Amino acid sequence: MSVDVIGPLHRTDRWNEYIVVTQDHFTKWIEGAAVATKETMIVADVIIHEWVYKHGTPLYLHNDREQSSPHRCANACVTF
């Protein structure tokens, strides 16, 4: 599974400026969620609620070395 944060984009009515995009490498399935900030805990919350609850726990977590690195997201997911 890979995670990427796109933005900042134009702010929506709900104050969302970023899109958290998750992709399964095997099936190429992509999902996105609008968020207000790209903080690690927000990205971890999206991973838990938008991916793990629907598809199960991923074996690997990849990203493009942004602020929310995979080990920080993984540690934050454990706290949930």
- Per-residue pLDDT tens digits for 44-53: 889 889 888 8
Predicted TM-score (pTM) of the model is 0.77
Note the Cα 37 to chain centre separation in Å: 11
Site of tokens 């944060």: 5
Q: Which long-range contacts (CB under 8 A, 24 or more apart) does 66-70 make?
A: 66/4, 66/5, 66/38, 67/38, 67/40, 68/3, 68/5, 68/38, 68/39, 68/40, 68/43, 68/44, 70/3
Q: Any idea which of 3-12, 14-23, 27-36, 63-72 has the lowest mean pLDDT?
A: 63-72
